[in-house]
Amino acid sequence: MENHGYVILDETNQRALFYYFVEAEIDPVSKPLVLWLNGGPGCSSLGVGAFSENGPFRPSGQVLVRNEHSWNREANMLYLEAPVGVGFSYSTQIETVDDKITARDNLLFLQRWFDKFPQYKQRELFITGESYAGHYIPQLAELIIQSNKKKMLFNLKGIALGNPVLEFSTDFNSRAEYFWSHGLISDSTYNVFTASCNYSRYVSEYYRGSVSPLCSRVMSQVSKETSRYVDKYDVTLDVCISSIFSQSMIINPQEVTKSIDVCIEDETVNYLNRRDVQKALHARLVGVNKWGVCSNILDYDVLNVEIPTINVVGSIVKAGIPVLVYSGDQDSVIPLTGSRKLVHGLAKELGLNTTAPYRVWFEGKQVNSVGNYTTEIKKFLYHTVNRQKVLISNCKQAKSFYFFVHSSNVCRLVVGLKFMVIFYHLRPSEELLMKLHSLSQRDRLFCSKHF
């Protein structure tokens, strides 16, 4: 089953969120519900998540073609265009939106979506996404946990955060070392990018409308050396020269353009702007003349990017909800170095011990793809993904697939987008860890049959 349309948040002010829902292809009754959120803030989970990354279809000319690696092969997928003002989601009132409003609206959306689809109310719920969803998801999960204390409405089983924005300074300032270590900037530029004006300072000044001459010079030099021909989301990718796709207007304020990478988005933009498609989707355009990948009318409080959410992740872990942070190691926007530092810092703060050492993991027969690494810390996990960015594009077809495996005390094992996600119950035993490693071996055999 496929369903799409609106959940009305406010009848009086005509505020509504658009969703795109696809059931699992096989036995959807037994499969979990996965809510997917793209970042930005202001970028579409429909256009990016569903139609460019992990949804069942991708536009090709005038038609849709199947994505054989769609996540709905093994999960019921719910893509939400949030906040209000993104994609087909709308409000007739011009308003400033921030993290708190977005979290509150997303919670209300879920409550009313479950009213429309009561058969999913008790279904296992996982929430995942990327980039600025490092704000969206923890804050939504926190509200769900608080709501469940009053009345158990959500069967939240885990969250997964891909290259997430979790702490402004740590995440943003890891960019300099990443650029330098990948040969994208010179030694001298690295020195001024760390000592004279780091990236968090530049972004902070930029969004306060007062970029200092020093930071302006430093960023000009960084931009000159990295050039517009490097895809910041995948520094190894052969980019489509027409433009460089950017999912985030906050994270990359200097590098935003009005253009969209034709290799990824042109067909999606053209497809979703067809009147017949909008009619079939039961979608409407309010306040805009054209559907866009990232909203140009959303008035988001950009300074919210400075609010840390790593502490919220900590509260979620303490509440017993499993958390995964995963990083594509070719993403320079939110590099893995910052995420690793934050995850291990949080583990130390919470007194959590490593249950399995840092080690390599393989995808299928790709035994030479050393560089996929994982470490398991009681209650939450961190994974790196070799030669992968934060999002999947059509420029470079990924061998991606997504499947869930049931085992004693293992909630879900997910392998997809060349990354692995494992959700544990709160306290995995040694016996469970042995089962998990055995399970991973069987899954590698499964991978080899499918590539």
CB 432 within 8 A of CB 408: yes
Of how many residues is the chain composed? 451
pLDDT for 361:
57
Task: At 387, list the tokens.
Answer: 């030669």
pLDDT for 450:
29
pLDDT for 329:
75
Structural domains of the chain sorted by starting position, each given as residue range(s) with its CATH number in brackets: 2-168+303-450 (3.40.50.1820), 169-258 (no CATH)
| Other Cβ atoms closer than 10 A to 180 | 17
Q: How far apart are the first and last CA of the chain?
A: 27
CB 255 within 8 A of CB 244: yes
Q: What amino acid occupies position 349?
A: E
Helix H segments across 160-303?
A: 168-181, 187-195, 199-206, 213-226, 266-272, 275-280
Quote the DSSP letter at residue 71. G
Helix H segments across 22-119?
A: 99-116
User: Can you give the C-alpha Rg of the chain in angstroms?
Assistant: 21
Phi/psi at 288 (nearest 5 deg)?
Answer: -140, 155
Quote the DSSP letter at residue 403. -
β-pairing, 57-60 vs 63-66, is antiparallel
Examine residue 83 and say whether the peptide bond preceding it is cis (omega within 30 degrees of 0). yes
Cα angle: 341, vertex 343, 348; to 5 degrees: 95
| Prediction pTM value | 0.82
pLDDT for 53:
87
Cα–Cα distance between 51 and 285 in angstroms, integer?
19
pLDDT in 10s for each residue of the chain, 451 residues = 889 999 999 998 899 999 999 999 999 999 999 999 999 899 999 999 999 888 999 998 888 999 888 899 889 999 999 999 999 999 988 789 999 999 999 999 999 999 999 999 999 999 999 999 999 999 999 999 999 999 999 999 999 998 899 999 999 999 999 999 989 999 999 999 999 999 999 999 999 999 999 999 999 999 999 887 777 776 766 655 433 344 445 556 654 443 333 445 678 999 999 999 999 999 999 989 999 999 988 999 999 999 999 999 999 999 999 888 888 777 788 888 899 899 889 988 988 877 777 766 555 554 334 345 556 565 556 555 554 444 433 333 343 343 233 322 223 333 333 233 333 333 333 333 333 344 344 333 333 332 2
Interhelix angle 99-116/133-150, rounded to 10 degrees, is: 60
Secondary element (H or E) of residue 160: strand 156-162
CB 439 within 8 A of CB 407: yes
